[in-house]
Amino acid sequence: MFGARNGGFELEFLVSLAEPGHREPIARRVEEQLRDNPFEPRPSWCTWTDLRSSAWMWTLQEDDPELNAIVYASGPRGVLRDEIRRGLPFGTARGPLPVADEVRQDREVRPEEVRFDDPAALEAALRAVTTMKAGKRIACRVGRADWGTVVRADRNEPLPGYARWALARRPDCPDWARAGFHTVPGFTRRMRRAGIFDSPLDLLLHGRWGQTALTVLHQGVVHFPSRSEARAPLRQLVRERLGTDPNAWAWTAYLVPRWTGTVPELFDAVHKGVNGR
């Protein structure tokens, strides 16, 4: 409807959550605002907060081969890709999943996609980490069967800080394993900056770069339909804070592509702007 520029896809999503009988006039007002106030997308260096890491896992947990192929093509590196290639389920499915053709035909196995054969070798590699780059390189090679080894090693003697951060930032790090790394101030905030959220609702409430959060939630309608817990609260925000007020929707269309705060903060800013406070 509104196109990719100026936050168009995110605004389409918000309009879809408005009262059904008022969506067409709202859409026209939003379109006028976008046309009269063009905004160049922020440069890529401004969008370092991706917010998609947990969304990759929510997508994989659908156990849908076609969705798995999307994550495989654009998602995280490492052993996770090999697990997708092998058809391992991430949700409640039992047994191997069918594998999409484009995934099955990819024969290249990168070094970071190969697990350590020996748990002792994995622990030694983690303990040798001295930089974040090295931590990410080793953490990529941790498979689902390795997390017990990692957690036991950390409990016996804490792993280096860079290794712990890299492990915690893995999108497939189990909650029980990540909880063990939560030992420093600001841990939750730093995890959110890395795209790690407890749920789509957590992303809605706390994900900065609100435009990106809305993009992920919009994609989630198709990519992780079973994780719909953010949709009702977002619909409530749209209908209570914007309603059918054309000025509120115009303010929203103006602010979305410029917004660096959370989605609730966006709605607060719109409310203050419309009411002159």
Q: Where are the domains of the chain?
A: 5-47+206-275, 53-193
Is residue 9 predicted with pLDDT exceeding 70? yes
Amino acid code (one letter) for 128: A
φ, ψ at 95 (rounded to 5°): 80, 175
198-201 CB contacts, 8 Å cutoff, 24+ apart: 198/54, 199/227, 199/229, 199/230, 200/55, 200/58, 200/224, 200/227, 200/228, 200/229, 200/230, 201/229, 201/230, 201/233
Tens digits of residue pLDDT in 107-158: 888 989 999 999 999 999 999 999 999 999 999 999 999 999 999 999 999 9
- The count of other CB atoms within 10 Å of the CB of residue 276 is 5
Q: Of 56, 54, 58, 51, whose CA–CA distance to 210 is shortest?
A: 51
Residue 198 — pLDDT band, cuts 50, 70, 90?
very high
Q: Grade residue 3 by pLDDT with cuts at 50, 70 and 90.
A: low
Which spans in 197-256 are helix H?
Answer: 200-206, 210-223, 231-237, 246-255
